[in-house]
Amino acid sequence: MAHSDTTAEPTRRDFLLLTAGAFGAVGVASVAWPFIDQMNPDASTRALASIEVDISALQSGQSITVLWRGKPVVVRNRTDKEIEEGKAVKLEELKDPIARNANVDPSADATDANRSAKDKENILVMVKVCTHLGCIPLDESGEFGGWFCPCHGSQYDTAGRIRKGPAPENLPVPVYAFTSDTKIRIG
C-alpha cells in the first residue's frame, strides 16, 4: 500500500509542533506589546483632548493663551481695526493662500472670514506655534501687528496668516465650537 493512499492520523510530533508554534506566537506578541503600547499618547495628553475656555473677561484687543494637547493656543478678541486690516489683505499678497482652519473646508481660501469664528469674527483661535521650526511667536509684534517669531523672523498678520519670513504656512486653527456666548470648547 502506497503512503499517499492512506490518511495520516495526527501524531504526537504534529501536536508538539503546533503547541510550540502557538507558545512562540504568544511570546512574540507579549514581547512586542510594550513597544507598540508606548507609541500611544500619554495619559495627560489624552486628558486634554478637549478643553473649555471661558472668554467672558476677554476685552476687545486682549488675548489669552491656554495649553491644549501640550501646545499653546491663543484666543484673541480682535479690535474692529484688526478685523478691517485682515479683510483688506488680498489673497495674492499671502505666502499661504490656504485657511488652515480645521472648522472649514481644507481647501478654503485664507480670507479673514475663513480664519475667524463664524458669526463672531472678532474671536480668533489659533495654535501659537510657528510653522517654520516650532518656536512660540510673540503677540502683537512685527510689521503686520499680529505675531512675530524672533527666532527666524517669521511675521504673521492679525488673522494669523504668514506674511513674511521662512514659515511656510499660516498658524493652524484647531477644531473649536462655542458652547455659549462666553465659552469655547477646543478639541
Active-site positions? 152
CA–CA separation, 116 and 85 (whole Å)? 13
Q: What are the CA-CA distances from residue 64 to residues 53, 54, 89, 178 (Å)? A: 10, 10, 25, 16
**Burial (CB count <10 Å: 0-12, 13-18, 19+), residue 148:** buried
CB 145 within 8 A of CB 158: yes
Q: What's the number of CA atoms in the CB half-sphere (13 Å) around residue 127?
A: 22
Distance CA 108, CA 114 (A): 7
Cell numbers 501687528: residue: 145
Distance (Å, whole) CA 59 – CA 61:
6
Q: What share of the chain is helix, strand, coil (3-state, %, to 5)?
A: 25, 25, 50
